[in-house]
Amino acid sequence: MSARTGKTLRWLGLVISIGSVLGGLGTWLYRRENGPRVEAFHPVRGPLVQTLVTTGRVVQQRRSNLGVVIQSTVVEVLVDEGARVEEGQLLARLADAEPAAAVAEAEAAVEEAEARLRGVRTSGRRIAAEAVDAARVDAEQAEAEYERQRRLHESGAVSEAALDRARQTRDLARSRRVSASLQLAQSAPSGSDTAAVAAALSRAQARLQQARAAFEHTRLRAPFAATVLGRDVEPGEVVRPGEVLFVLAGEAPLEVSISPDESNLARLAIDQTALVSPDAFPDRRLAAKVARIAPSIDPQRGTVEVTLTLDEPGAELRPDMTVSVEVELGRADDALVLPTSLIRDLATDAPHVLVARDAIVTRVDVRLGLLGDSIVEIAEGLDTSSAVLSPELTLDEDDPVRVRRVRPATTLDGTVGASADPLRGVEGALGDR
């Protein structure tokens, strides 16, 4: 190879190298001025429903745990689990020999007091009246004899001693007449004897009521018509106060109780609609509505108790059955929505997105509406023409960007779309934790 040819090849290589550097620099400058080519997504419109999905339990509105108030031995158990019982029906009987004897003794005391009162009001008053009549006759006779003795004493026919005896006899007869009158008054319906006997009868009746109450403590009865959900007692067992022997469920409608996280409290409201699905019958959907929201929060679990009433309780529901519940927290007929994956700082007070605007990455603060796990309503900040950039792109605010195409957000997440069916945003920041 000649020197001329070698020099030519060296210049050619240099030119190629310089061309490559200049080409790369041009590409870098072009990309720096015009940014990378990316895809963007625009919000879509459609109906949106936000729901709270959680689990709950079927509860009986009228439910009672029954036990005894005395320690005793169970003699007889008269019902089994699942039995239907009427109000006042006997469920179990305890040992009752001593209470029964106390009742018999108290009944005898009442009968005795009643007999005494009848005697005071009938024969006692008659005897007292007869005594008054006799005392009056004696007093009149003694008065007449005294007057006769006084006249004889004045004529000197009788001594002073005879007159004194007649006077004493007269005074004694007067005293007996007064005593008989007082006794008659005491035997009157408002008299002290009648009152004393009546008080004794009242005390006897009170002791009888006490004895009967103690006897009734040996009888465990149904407080209302119900179904026996649980029985935890057998004949021969010794039972004590505070022990639950029977669990009864009344005939009141079944309800559903849920305990969602307290963060849901702001969006929960009375009369919100819900769907209830028993875990044992997952194909069943029962309509319900929020009836009560507890006024306090469970400090241990950070939950709030919510009670739902069923529009038409299904025959398959049983107390304590586990159910899945979906409560409708909010609905928008024409919501502007995006996937939550496109929202930056979603859980903060300053949610925002990055959009391509005039070939520049621009930050746009947004106000959110209904919020779900995979979709969110954009209440303010965007419209359907906005080109929202994915957070997966390594772009910062004010960077240049070239949008290759803008697709509807439904292509990013299949759960989002502007179809005829409502979009359903479930759980997420408002779900059951």
Q: DSSP for 252-280, please give it.
A: SPEEEEE--BGGGGGG--TT-EEEEEETT
Could you tell me which of 428, 429, 426, 433 has the C-alpha nearest to residue 275? 426
Q: What token pair was written down for 185?
A: 């008054």
The answer, as to whether pTM is greater than 0.75, is no
Between strands 37-42 and 402-408, the pairing is: parallel
- H or E stretch covering 172: helix 160-186
Q: Is residue 229 predicted with pLDDT exceeding 90?
A: no
Q: Is residue 432 predicted with pLDDT exceeding 60?
A: no
Average pLDDT over residues 244-255: 84
Give the residue with greater pLDDT, 312 vs 362: 362
Q: Is 14 helix (H, G, I), strand (E, B) or coil?
A: helix
pLDDT for the residue numbered 422: 40
Most confident of 10-24, 141-155, 305-319, 409-423: 305-319
Q: DSSP letter for 390, please.
A: P
The string of pLDDT tens digits covering residues 90-104 is 999 999 999 999 989
CB atoms within 10 A of CB 353: 25
Q: Mean pLDDT of all residues in the chain?
A: 80
pLDDT for the residue numbered 22: 59
pLDDT for the residue numbered 5: 61
Q: What token pair was written down for 428?
A: 């997420």
Orientation of helix 97-119 relative to helix 192-216, angle to 10°: 160
Four-point Cα dihedral 365, 370, 371, 374, nearest 10: -100
How far is the C-alpha of 344 from the C-alpha of 403, rounded, in Å?
Answer: 20
Confidence tier at 433 by pLDDT (50, 70, 90): very low
Q: Is residue 382 predicted with pLDDT exceeding 90?
A: yes
Q: Is residue 357 predicted with pLDDT exceeding 80?
A: yes
Q: What token pair was written down for 161?
A: 């001693």
Q: Is residue 2 predicted with pLDDT exceeding 60?
A: no
How far is the C-alpha of 372 from the C-alpha of 338, rounded, in Å?
Answer: 11
pLDDT for the residue numbered 26: 55
Are 364 and 381 in contact, with CB atoms under 8 Å apart?
yes
Provide the strand spans (E) within 266-392: 273-278, 286-293, 306-310, 322-339, 352-357, 360-365, 367-371, 375-380
pLDDT for the residue numbered 431: 38
Between strands 254-258 and 306-310, the pairing is: antiparallel
Give the residue with greater pLDDT, 144 vs 182: 144
pLDDT for the residue numbered 72: 92
Average pLDDT over residues 412-417: 43
**Phi, psi values for residue 352, rounded to 5°:** -155, 170
pLDDT for the residue numbered 351: 93
pLDDT for the residue numbered 323: 93
Give the residue with greater pLDDT, 29 vs 344: 344
Amino acid at 8: T
pLDDT for the residue numbered 115: 79
The string of pLDDT tens digits covering residues 182-203 is 665 555 554 455 667 777 778 8
Confidence tier at 425 by pLDDT (50, 70, 90): very low
pLDDT for the residue numbered 127: 58
Amino acid at 86: E
The string of pLDDT tens digits covering residues 107-134 is 888 888 777 766 666 655 565 566 656 6
Q: Would you put residue 212 in left (φ > 0), alpha (ψ -120 to 50) or beta?
A: alpha
The DSSP code sequence of 221-259 is E-SSSEEEEEE---TT-EE-TT---EEEEESSPEEEEE-
Q: Is residue 37 predicted with pLDDT exceeding 80?
A: yes
pLDDT for the residue numbered 344: 92
